[in-house]
Amino acid sequence: MSIAKVFESKSLIRFPDCDPFNHLNNARYIDYFMNAREDHVMKYHQFPIYQLVKEKGIGWVVVKNQIAYLRPAFLMETVIIQTTILRLGDKDLQVEMRMWNEAKTSLKSLLWTSFVHFNLKTQKVEPHTPELIDQFKPFENPLQTIVSFDERVEELKSKAAAALS
């Protein structure tokens, strides 16, 4: 049986998150992505992320975001947000997040986020525990070839276009 490695959920674009043109404000895309990822970690990975922070003082901190805004997300539009772990390292991980229209025919935005495993008590980056590696390694979903962020954007746009034809 194959394990799912890409998780998705629906989100409704809300009024306070939009600009005067009724487009999702650029700064809010990251909020929608991070909220979806948080939901996916708790629901699909069955991982109590906030319990880990509370009990052990460890979690993950964002150290880098790369985002492409490709098509606007509109007020009261339902979007699909997908997340997957591209790479799980000793002390870090990289997650890809994609926002699509509801039919998944138009890629609206792509985000690559790099996280480091961080100890709040020592205020230092630290290695993932063997238990965390065991928990998340089955969900690692590396790209078949190493590509840059811009190349990945083009790849996903081409796949979406090919699916329409």
Answer for the pair 139, 3: CB distance below 8 angstroms, yes or no: yes
User: Tens digit of pLDDT for each residue in 106-122?
Assistant: 999 999 999 999 999 99
- Mean pLDDT across the chain, nearest whole number? 94
pLDDT over 80 at 42, yes or no: yes
- Average pLDDT on 35-49 reads 90
pLDDT over 90 at 164, yes or no: no
What local confidence, expressed as pLDDT, does residue 1 receive? 61
Within 6-148, residue ranges assigned H as helices are: 26-43, 49-56, 130-136
Q: Which superfamily, per CATH, for 7-164?
A: Hotdog Thioesterase (3.10.129.10)
Q: Parse the chain into domains and list their residue ranges.
A: 7-164
- Looking at the chain, the whole-number percentage of residues with pLDDT higher than 90 is 85
As separate numbers, helices (DSSP H) first and strands (DSSP E) second, the chain gives 4, 6
- Average pLDDT on 58-84 reads 97
CA–CA separation, 132 vs 115, rounded Å?
A: 14
Lowest-confidence segment of 21-25, 56-60, 107-111, 158-162 by average pLDDT:
158-162
Other residues' Cβ atoms within 10 Å of the Cβ of residue 84: 21
- Looking at the chain, the whole-number percentage of residues with pLDDT higher than 70 is 99
Per residue, the 3-state secondary structure of 73-102, as one string, reads CECCCEEEEEEEEEEECCCEEEEEEEEEEC
Which tokens is 19 given? 């600009």
Axis-axis angle for helices 26-43, 49-56 (nearest 10)? 80
